Structure 1
Amino acid sequence: MDMGSGIKDLNRILRIWELRKEVYEKEKEFIQKCMSTSDSSGSLDYSSERVTGGKVKLDMAEGLIRLQKLDSHIHLHNETIKNYKEIIDKIKSNMKQLEGIDYKVVYLRDVEGKTLEEIADELGYSVIWIKKVSAKNKKLYT
């Protein structure tokens, strides 16, 4: 029985997408800072080298192109994250409706993270019986 592992795998994939989105957002902030470096008069000095004083001056056109690409990536990641969350919610909802003690114990133990004692109280079975059911339906991830 690997229902709980499917949810956990999807949650791990979701977390990866969220981390990748964070990287794109940080890169976007960095590019915006590089584009806004200017002297005190508010204008850029295009006659000097692009790298001065440890600060990178980024050409406006190049910066805008990179920002548009990053915005596209961030939008894609937002949509994918939203889709994964919807899928996870649908799976959880369907798993809750499954019949049988085995399914319920695995769901409560692996998805909701409840202890065997809590599961026994919730389902109205003895702790010993829930331990037997849990033991025959091994936990795939710890």
Structure 2
Amino acid sequence: MYEWLKEYIKLREEISYLELKLDQNQTELKRWVEGDLSKVKLEADSIASGLEDKIEMQLKLLDEKKKQRDELIALVEKFEGLDNQILRMKWFEGKTLEQIAEELQYSYGYIKRKHADIMKMIKFADSLASNL
């Protein structure tokens, strides 16, 4: 039903984690190249000796995940209906329910109930799927 939302959340989490790991590895490489470890001799089988390759792989994977996310966003932008608008504005644009209500010209209470109903449907569908 709203598989796109689960996929988007999964991609967002994967991208955040990859960015964290990439930052850690780039910081570590900087220590080896120009920092406090620059005078330490590297062994061929040490973890640090493969940092550049690891960083390159992480950059490629990060680009791939971002491309997947962007393609998903482009697809979801084409979806119609109030439910999809609410979810898209909430998750992709980061708007509050109050902002969504104002922009779509509905009352805050209606959008809040509608969002809660959508989330209940998603959780119910997930529980059914996990029991299969």
Give the TM-score normalised by structure 2. 0.71
Unpaired runs of at least 5, structure 2: 123-132
Asked whether the 8 Å contact 2:4–2:72 carries over to 1, the reply is: no
Map Cα deviations across residues 56-79 of structure 1 (whole Å, 9 max, x no partner): x315xx37x866622111111111
Larger radius of gyration: 1
The equivalent of 1:95 in structure 2 is 76
Moved over 4 A (4+): 33-36, 65-68
Structure with greater proportional helix content = 2
Letter in 1 for 2:5: G
Unpaired runs of at least 5, structure 1: 38-56
Asked whether the 8 Å contact 1:109–1:115 carries over to 2, the reply is: yes
52, 57, 62: which one pairs with 1:76? 57
Asked whether the 8 Å contact 1:116–1:130 carries over to 2, the reply is: yes
Shift of residue 8, structure 1, vs aligned partner = 2.1
Figure out how many residues of one structure are paired with residues of the other and give that number: 118
Letter in 2 for 1:4: L
Map Cα deviations across residues 81-120 of structure 1 (whole Å, 9 max, x no partner): 1111111122122212201111111111233222222212
Pick 1 or 2: higher relative contact order, CA cutoff 8 A, min separation 6. Answer: 1
The equivalent of 1:106 in structure 2 is 87
Measured on the aligned residues, the alpha-carbon RMSD in Å equals 2.7
Q: 2:38, 2:114 → 1: CA distance? A: 62
Q: 2:90, 2:47 → 1: CA distance? A: 46
